[in-house]
Amino acid sequence: MPTEHLFVDGALAAADMARRIATVLGDAIAARGVATIALSGGRSPRPVLEALSGMALDWSKVIVTLVDERWVAPDHADSNERLVRETLLQGKAGAARFVPMKNEAADAYAGQAECEAAFAALPWPLDIVLLGMGEDGHTASLFPGAKELAEGLSTHALTIAVTPPAAPHQRMSMSARAILASRHIFLQIGGAAKKAVYDRALAGGPVEELPVRVALCQHAVSVEVWISE
């Protein structure tokens, strides 16, 4: 069962999550000399990343990467890399090392091998995998109904190229194996619609129906969830 942090307000949830992330990263640096975090994109992480950016940490010892990426140029409005660069990697936090998922390949399938090599070179397990969730129950870019979902749930690879059935852009996503190769999974759930999907996912059922169950219905990695109205 995940540890739930409940808030009436999304801004308070984001501030609390940012403080918890900074604590875990600081502990990782103290213990191992390096800290690693994989970040989700979309709308939800923005206030967390903005708050985290101002926190005191030896950012030069932090490696930041992505849980998933849309296969668009890094300056595209939908780029998760752009989100991270504009929010987190500012000021002192700009000293962190960022490992992108997107590379120069023409599409995500052609770029997967290079992305996989970059991920294989990271220090595993990652300290934090920060997940979001869509109202269809997708997490990272593991989408229900995607033709690559079964592979994403079972592959030994750390990354997989995906075409979402109903969302724009080809994606690169961490596989289920990579998500679970972490010390902490943090999940953001904002709003009543996502809370209802989260409750359904927790109640149990096929992971193919609600892929967020990859994180929620397992006992190997500790999961904390920040829930706001």
Ligand X SMILES: O=C1O[C@H](COP(=O)(O)O)[C@@H](O)[C@H](O)[C@H]1O
- Residues of this chain that interact with ligand X (CB under 6 A) are 40-44, 67-68, 80, 132, 134, 141, 167
H-type alpha helices, the chain: 10-32, 46-53, 80-87, 108-120, 149-154, 176-180, 192-203, 213-216
Minimum CB separation from ligand X for residue 85, in Å?
15
Residue with Cβ nearer ligand X (141 or 175): 141
Residue with Cβ nearer ligand X (61 or 194): 194
Secondary structure (3-state) at 225:
strand
Secondary structure (3-state) at 86:
helix
Minimum CB separation from ligand X for residue 18, in Å?
16
Residue with Cβ nearer ligand X (13 or 29): 13
Minimum CB separation from ligand X for residue 56, in Å?
27
Residue with Cβ nearer ligand X (61 or 111): 111
d(C-alpha 29, C-alpha 26), whole Å? 5
Q: What's the DSSP call for residue 157?
A: S
d(C-alpha 195, C-alpha 45), whole Å? 16
Minimum CB separation from ligand X for residue 108, in Å?
12
d(C-alpha 149, C-alpha 142), whole Å? 6
